[in-house]
Amino acid sequence: MEAVVCMDEGCAHRDYNGEGKLCMAGSGILFPAASEEDRVKKVAELFLSIGVTDVTSHEGCGAAGLAYKRDFPGTAPTAEQIEAYAKDWARKVAEEIGRMGHQEKYDHIAAEEMERPKGFHNARVVYYDAIGGFNPNKEVGLPMGFVISRKFVSSGYAQEELKVATSIAFSHHGFGDLFSSELPFIIIPMANTNDELANLKNEIDGALKENKDYGDGKIKIEGLLI
């Protein structure tokens, strides 16, 4: 695994130079920390522990928009401000990897390079990967979906990413009201054992228990043993 991309389906399903991918919202921009400096260091250390040295940002990053509002409360940032913030974050993490003595790389993915329409999320699922290394562009016929690399992050953080992915899917940027109990948004935990799968399902249920769409059956959990 060599690159980190956003969990956004347009990045997760895109081939990135044939490399393995770690998927995190905004390449870690929402990772919990006491300060930006602390966040940059923690995320860079996490990436290096997995073998990630290529850091990416992308156009139209929803996670970067949430991070901007977190860091500048009460503001209404433009798309240009959010994109600049996403780029700045990814560059800082890449530079920190370099300061730690590793060869780093930074890349920005433009909207036209992504595997989804500009401004629209066509994800119908979330791949909640507790196996590690799941790379949807290596598979044929998979539905478009967000990818959460659960194996490499805490349950609490993965749950927050899941909430973000779900909110995007049900917004006007996604299929929104087209999801129903007959055609639901599906969360797919991926595990090695039945016990692990059961724990992941409970974890996902805990994250979504207050979500009205989940209560109405518009979000369903389906497990996958690998």
Task: List the one residue out of 139, 89, 109 whose CA is nearest residue 16.
Answer: 109
* Neighbouring residues of 202: CB distance < 8 A, sequence distance ≥ 6: none
| pLDDT, tens digit (0-9, with 9 covering 90-100), for 66-102 | 999 999 999 999 999 999 999 999 999 999 999 999 9
Instruction: Check residue 140 and give its pLDDT.
Output: 83
The residue ranking higher by pLDDT, 140 or 20, is 20
* Domain ranges (residues) in the chain: 3-225
CA angle, corner 73, sides to 72 and 77, nearest 5?
60
| pLDDT, tens digit (0-9, with 9 covering 90-100), for 24-35 | 999 999 999 999
pLDDT, average across residues 105-118: 97
